[in-house]
Structure 1
Amino acid sequence: MIDQSTGTLIQHRIMEAFGALDADALIIPADGVVAVILAFNEALRFPFFLKHYRELGIRHFVVVDNMSNDGTSDFLAAQSDVSVIRTEKPYSEYKSVWRQLLCERYLLGRWTLFPDVDELLVYPGWPGRKIDDLVSSLDNRQFQALFCPMVDMYPKGPLKQFSYKAGDSFLDGCSYFDPKGYRYNPLKGSHGKRYKTPARHIFGGTRERLFHQNAKRRKTWLDKGLLSLIFSIRTRAPESDLGRRCDQFLFKLVKSAVPDTAAVQSKVPLLKWDHGYMFSGGVHGIDKKISIAPEWGVLLHFKYLDDFQSKVTEALERKQHTDNAGHYRDYKTQLNRLMNEGLFISGSKKFTGVDSLIECGLMRDIGG
């Protein structure tokens, strides 16, 4: 429980961050996992998104709607297990604060999920295993969070030939992913020092294959050895402070040989919230050192539906994403090729269940 003075401070901060009274008047179920979602114009994805997470066992959804104008608000208003907060405040400035304040106000000590609307969480035992069983196992072993690589999903043909209807399974048309080309390394610079969990992040995959090939120098034999032996996705992240410092030192040797502008391809989307946690903008990192489970889930990422072109245009106009929508500028440069040729390559793998992710090291199952 929070004391009265702390509660009053949170109320003031909520009003400043949301500009909406209803943000301090939500009714949240007393038990079960709650999902906190930030959204703008996701009427296409929300029907199947909610279906997927309801089947996982999510008890309630709190959606911060950043003034959608595509029917998202009306759709969400009709859902009995969804609480909606509409706010005009800029996403780029408040995305981390919104999550923190909602959790401080309503979800202290609760397992909370933070998916984007284009992400589906899967984990060892899915689809039969419910999320209550997963968090119970994490609780019993005193872990506070689940690490998840982000795996981009895409159709087999050109994007211009792909058609998706709201409510259909995302996987019906976007069932392929890159099984190779990932690395597992610490963040560079001050960001890596400030955000202590996780110790390492995933990079590479489809996003790097398409948009981030250039590095400051070519790989040497030492770079290749470190990347394959130390920073492979099948290796373990160090747990001790000394191990982390050694990890950062080794990565300094190789960092100029990997793309400098690569996007982080992992998140910590499921955690048991405690006082004072703060995400690094998105849910890629947390500023506290907390115990993270040895098994991995995966966030299947469905950016490449048939609204991809309009989403890129929309993001560039709003300029609310990281680096002034920098990654969307990358998408723009490759847009014609993606629309006409697609993302599929000879090495693409079809998703047939979580075993297809475990086989290539993108999901870890320890039998917990």
Structure 2
Amino acid sequence: MYSELSPSQDRWFRFRMDWKRRRYRARAIAKARELSCVKRARWGREAILLFCTIRNERDRIDWFLKHYRDLGVDHFLFVDNGSDDGTLDTLLAQPDASVWNTPASYRASRFGLDWLNWLMLRHARGHWCVVADADELLIYPHWQTRPLRALTDWLDAQGQPILPAMMLELYPKGPLHTAHVPPGTDPLTALQWFDPGNYTIARKPLLDCLLIQGGPRARAFFADQPNRAPTLTKLPLVKWDMHNTWVNSTHSILPRHLNAVYARGAGERISGALLHTKFLPQIVDRAPMEKARAEHFGNAPVFDAYYDAVAQSPDLWCAQSARFTGWEQLEELGLISRGGWA
């Protein structure tokens, strides 16, 4: 499926990426001065940690915390990027959360990665860590009956320090503004649909990672520029090492060999899904504000049309949409895999 690099190419790519890793670590250390710790709690040596950069997610945060507590996360480490809707107060009230805040530019911190790289360099060594946005809910095979600890123990036994996941974008049937979800409740009560197909997959040799694109945003907003569609490849669960650093969101990581989480020959390796709950009604009102802030894309003007389209509250449902029923359905579609975790 994927052509192999020559030994000389592989050595050259590893050399280039090692310098990038060092550069990003240096950036993270420099950016640490932008963070102020406003609450620090304790966690155990074996704790499963969750790292998240967040801004104005008061309506989502209660369910986000519940979902990950139920999975088995022991402690949350948040970077609040200037919330003014009560999110920060909610985070400070959580007994199992430590909180840093910053008014600095999200975009200038490589979209929060410099902050997370610093916090993980400082606090995550040797821990299994979830890294997720407030609108991302991790699931994996058997997730309702097997906690994260069972999964991480199995991954440890396999010598696999990362669980890859595809970001599965969920949406309502009907205009986005009609998908009402009371604050603090399960967003999947309204976001019940997804695209079961129309995905492309490619290998990026430089990082030795996969690039998955497609889904509702690709067909609705980037049909004429599919290469601009969001990347759906994610690495949301990782056993952190002091040498690690994030490259591009959680799409890729360094050292480079950690991105090789896919099977190259026969068989499959375990993978999960990140249920992306972005398309709640709030996105319609927030789109013009985020367009004006220009903090979420490297080439922000290119994505103005995307924000304009979202502000019109489009209906993303189509005849090929599938109603989400669970991880077993995703496995049947080939979107996640149990690998050897029977």
TM-score by length of 1: 0.78
Q: Is the alpha carbon distance of 1:15 and 1:212 closer, same or farther for their aligned partners in structure 2, counting shifts above 3 Å?
A: closer
Q: Does 1:200 align with 2:216?
A: no
Q: Following TM superposition, by how much is the alpha carbon of 1:55 offset from its aligned partner in structure 2, in angstroms? A: 0.4
Are the counterparts in 1 of residues 31 and 115 from structure 2 also a CA contact under 8 Å? no
Structure 1: which 5+ runs fail to align? 1-9, 216-258
Counterparts of residues 331-350 of structure 1 (less than 5 Å): 331-335=306-310, 339=313, 341-350=314-323
CA displacement, residues 171-223 of structure 1 (integer Å, 9 cap, x when unaligned):
10101100010122123xxxx51x34xx21211111211112225xxxxxxxx
One-letter amino acid of the structure 2 residue matched with residue 343 of structure 1: L
Q: Following TM superposition, by how much is the alpha carbon of 1:28 offset from its aligned partner in structure 2, in angstroms? A: 3.1
Name the one with the larger strand percent: 2
* Match in the other structure for 1:224: none
One-letter amino acid of the structure 1 residue matched with residue 216 of structure 2: T
Q: Is the alpha carbon distance of 1:30 and 1:307 closer, same or farther for their aligned partners in structure 2, counting shifts above 3 Å?
A: same
Q: Following TM superposition, by how much is the alpha carbon of 1:263 offset from its aligned partner in structure 2, in angstroms? A: 1.8
TM-score by length of 2: 0.83
* Match in the other structure for 1:363: 336
Q: Does 1:296 align with 2:296?
A: no
* Match in the other structure for 2:157: 140
> Where do 4+ consecutive residues of structure 1 move more than 6 Å?
10-13
Q: Is the alpha carbon distance of 1:332 and 1:104 closer, same or farther for their aligned partners in structure 2, counting shifts above 3 Å?
A: closer
Candidates 110, 114, 126, aligned match of 2:143: 126
Candidates 63, 66, 76, aligned match of 1:48: 63
Quote the Cα distance in structure 2 between the aligned partners of 1:24 and 1:159: 36
Quote the Cα distance in structure 1 between the aligned partners of 2:272 and 2:27: 36
Candidates 113, 116, 124, aligned match of 1:96: 113
Counterparts of residues 86-235 of structure 1 (less than 5 Å): 86-94=101-109, 95-187=112-204, 193=206, 195-196=207-208, 199-214=209-224
One-letter amino acid of the structure 2 residue matched with residue 342 of structure 1: D
* Paired residues, number: 307
* Match in the other structure for 1:309: 284
Other structure's SS at 1:134 match = helix
One-letter amino acid of the structure 1 residue matched with residue 234 of structure 2: K
Quote the Cα distance in structure 1 between the aligned partners of 2:44 and 2:286: 33
Quote the Cα distance in structure 2 between the aligned partners of 1:13 and 1:186: 27
Candidates 235, 241, 259, aligned match of 1:268: 235
Q: Is the alpha carbon distance of 1:13 and 1:301 closer, same or farther for their aligned partners in structure 2, counting shifts above 3 Å?
A: closer
Q: Following TM superposition, by how much is the alpha carbon of 1:158 offset from its aligned partner in structure 2, in angstroms? A: 1.5
Q: Is the alpha carbon distance of 1:264 and 1:21 closer, same or farther for their aligned partners in structure 2, counting shifts above 3 Å?
A: closer
Other structure's SS at 2:59 match = coil
Q: Following TM superposition, by how much is the alpha carbon of 1:82 offset from its aligned partner in structure 2, in angstroms? A: 1.1
Other structure's SS at 1:264 match = coil
Are the counterparts in 1 of residues 39 and 99 from structure 2 also a CA contact under 8 Å? no
* Match in the other structure for 1:4: none
Quote the Cα distance in structure 1 between the aligned partners of 2:171 and 2:186: 13
Are the counterparts in 1 of residues 36 and 101 from structure 2 also a CA contact under 8 Å? no
Q: Following TM superposition, by how much is the alpha carbon of 1:83 offset from its aligned partner in structure 2, in angstroms? A: 0.9
Q: Does 1:32 align with 2:47?
A: yes
CA displacement, residues 319-355 of structure 1 (integer Å, 9 cap, x when unaligned):
2112244575242242365x2x511111111111101
One-letter amino acid of the structure 1 residue matched with residue 221 of structure 2: F
One-letter amino acid of the structure 1 residue matched with residue 330 of structure 2: L
Q: Following TM superposition, by how much is the alpha carbon of 1:37 offset from its aligned partner in structure 2, in angstroms? A: 0.2
One-letter amino acid of the structure 1 residue matched with residue 213 of structure 2: F
One-letter amino acid of the structure 2 residue matched with residue 261 of structure 1: R
Q: Is the alpha carbon distance of 1:358 and 1:12 closer, same or farther for their aligned partners in structure 2, counting shifts above 3 Å?
A: closer
